[in-house]
Amino acid sequence: MKKLLTLSLLVILMTSCEQNQELKSKKSKTSNNTSTIIKINQEVPNIIHIDLHKEGASHGDLLAFDADVITNNNIKGKLSGYLLTIFIPEENHENFQEKMLQMVFDFGEGNTIVVGGKSIYPNIDKSEIVENQPQLRAIIGGTGSFIGARGQISTKRNDDGTYEHFVELVE
């Protein structure tokens, strides 16, 4: 009986060690992520302001936008999104508002990249980010060929009102 108990404990210990080793292998593979970079050029966006609650800039105001996009591989698509104002500084204190963002790059046939995060905008009735100052946001998902997408996106507004997005997808 003692031998059977000892043998059972030995088998359990060995199995546990093997599973632990597999877990360590998976962690090291994921810690050395490879990434794919996609550059997306965006046309000047169509922007609609929706003034909610108080008249003028206030918490909860919504800004909706859409624009045509094209990737560095000549894949055309549409960008749609919205910004929700979450922080407006007191007069003469801060120069920037904070807004929560949700946007979707739609490349057709069910292929989308979904982005979310927070952005900083000038506090002077401007609806777009400051020119040539990139904003970093999270890629929170995707569909089709981008299913389970994760990574980050850097968005920069150009002098001419167009935008450049640098998508970094990690595997």
Question: pLDDT category, 6, cuts 50, 70, 90?
Answer: very low
- The Cβ-side half-sphere exposure at 103, using a 13 Å CA radius, reads 29
Residues pairing with 142 in the sheet: 113
In this structure, the answer to whether residues 18 and 102 fall within a common structural domain is no
- CATH code, 141: 2.40.480.10
Same domain, 142 and 153: yes
- Please give the average per-residue pLDDT across 15-37, as a whole number: 49
Of 37 and 87, more confident = 37
Q: Could you read off the pLDDT of 109-167 as tens digits, one per residue?
A: 999 999 999 988 776 656 788 888 899 999 999 999 999 999 999 999 999 999 999 99
In this prediction, residue 95 carries a pLDDT of: 65
Give the residue numbers spanning the domain of 144. Answer: 35-170
Residues 137 and 160 in one domain: yes
The two tokens of residue 99 are: 């807004």
Q: Where are the beta strands (DSSP E) in the chain?
A: 35-42, 46-50, 62-71, 76-87, 96-106, 112-122, 135-143, 151-157, 163-170
